[in-house]
Amino acid sequence: MKIQPSLAGRFLAIALVIVGAGFACAGVAAQQAPAAQQTSPAQQAQSAPAQTQQTADTATDPQRPALHQRYPRYRLRSSDVIDLTFRFTPEFNQEVTVQPDGYIQARGLPNDVYVQGMTVSEMTAALQKSYSTILNQPEISVTLKDFDKPYFVAGGLVGKPGKYDLRGTTTATQAVAMAGGFADGAKNSQVVLFRRSNSDDWMEVKVLNLKEVLKGKKLNEDTVLQPGDMLYVPKSTWSKIEKFLPRSSVGAYFSPAML
């Protein structure tokens, strides 16, 4: 069968149109694919609050333990004794003691330097900055020679009330175990944690539900202790307690010999 020339031309034109349309669709799809993968600044700004909210929800989840710094660096306190060694100017080598107000009196400096609460590396940087006014690029080695060893106090209805060394990471339940565990009649659902606040005259107070912790629930209640913390296990229910108490009143819950 023979196809008329006019009919063959029509078939050829239709085929060219179909092929051209296919290439056009492929090009549009190729251009739209990267655009779908990319996120505009406006979309990023809209998604950021959602991610922040998700993080906040995770952090406030009562069933999720709070994150703590596992191995915190020691921070200087009053009565700590420190050796200062100057590499190029040994005449400035000295031994200093942190005063009750947090300052040290360093040889050659016109003003005292506040170091309480600093780590050894932070104190080194502070001294290098202070001595740079009288020395050219001083190199100072700071060595902690004597210090008050970290401790916690456990009182109330525990097996062995007293003062204990705080070594490594210790939680409230571990501290109670070190103190002989809960005694008969102890209210382990309302263990009171006393912690020094920023002011030496006040103590921060928190009630811990260690009963739920021992059941494997509310693990965020198992607080990691800090140096100087005091745990008090009561016998009666503490329905109301202030968040902060004067430090002088805290001694009523502990034996003076323990503190």
**CA-CA distance, 102 to 81, in Å (whole number)?**
12
Q: Indicate the SS3 state at residue 14.
A: helix
Q: Indicate the SS3 state at residue 169.
A: coil
Residue ranges, CATH 3.10.560.10, the chain:
151-253
Mean predicted confidence (pLDDT) in 196-222: 84
CATH class label, 151-253: alpha beta
**CA-CA distance, 210 to 208, in Å (whole number)?**
6
**35-49, 92-106, 233-247, range with greatest mean pLDDT:** 92-106
Higher confidence at residue 73 or residue 137? 137
Quick: pLDDT tens for 150-176: 899 999 999 999 999 998 889 999 999
117: alpha, beta or left? (left if phi > 0; alpha if psi -120 to 50): left
Residue ranges, CATH 3.30.1950.10, the chain:
81-146
Q: Are strands 230-233 and 244-246 parallel, antiparallel or unpaired?
A: unpaired
Structural contact between residues 196 and 245, judged by C-beta atoms closer than 8 angstroms: no
Quick: pLDDT tens for 87-143: 999 999 999 999 999 999 999 999 999 999 999 999 999 999 999 999 999 999 999
Topology of 81-146 in CATH?
wza like fold (3.30.1950)
C-alpha neighbours within 13 Å on the C-beta side of residue 189: 8
